[in-house]
Amino acid sequence: MSPTVRPARDASEREEALALRHAVFCVEQDVPLDEELDGRDAEALQLVALESGAVLGTCRLLLEGERAVLGRMAVAAPARGRGIGAALLEAADAAARAAGARHVVLAAQLAARGLYERYGYAASGASFLDAGIEHVRMEKPLA
């Protein structure tokens, strides 16, 4: 069964997405809560991957003119390896295009770099630490 990926429809889905992010980033990866919650969620398009009504994956898009910033992508540990990250990336690309973005940028954890490269993202610049985790800036033009 493939999850449905779409924008969060209500406060309950947004809260589930935030709870998933907390579980992945703060609990699993030890990211401080004040770094995970940057105050920009209200202005973002929050995408969710749902299966049987439960949020299994999420990411957000911040739209800045012709640029979309993809971030906060998380997939629940038991659901990893099922293509949910790929489905979120495809939905994010489509949403960014629909909003008029011409390219997408993100900061990828080095462990996830391969996933982003498979979906057309290219690294630019040196790696850097964010919340104590090594990242690399990546970008993708939208056709």
> b/e map of 100-133 (b: 16 or more CB within 10 Å)?
ebeebbbebbeeebeebeeeebeeeeeeeeeeee
Q: Does residue 80 form part of some domain? A: yes
Tens of pLDDT, residues 5-39: 999 999 999 999 999 999 999 999 989 888 888 88
Contact predicate 127/135, CB 8 Å: yes
Q: Does residue 21 form part of some domain? A: yes
Q: Does residue 51 form part of some domain? A: yes
Q: Does residue 36 form part of some domain? A: yes
Q: Does residue 141 form part of some domain? A: no
Q: Which domain holds residue 74?
A: 4-102
**Quick one: DSSP state of residue 9?**
-
Number of domains in the chain: 1
What is the CATH classification number for the domain harbouring 43? 3.40.630.30
Q: Does residue 13 form part of some domain? A: yes
Quick one: pLDDT at residue 84?
95
Tens of pLDDT, residues 108-137: 999 999 999 999 999 999 998 888 889 999
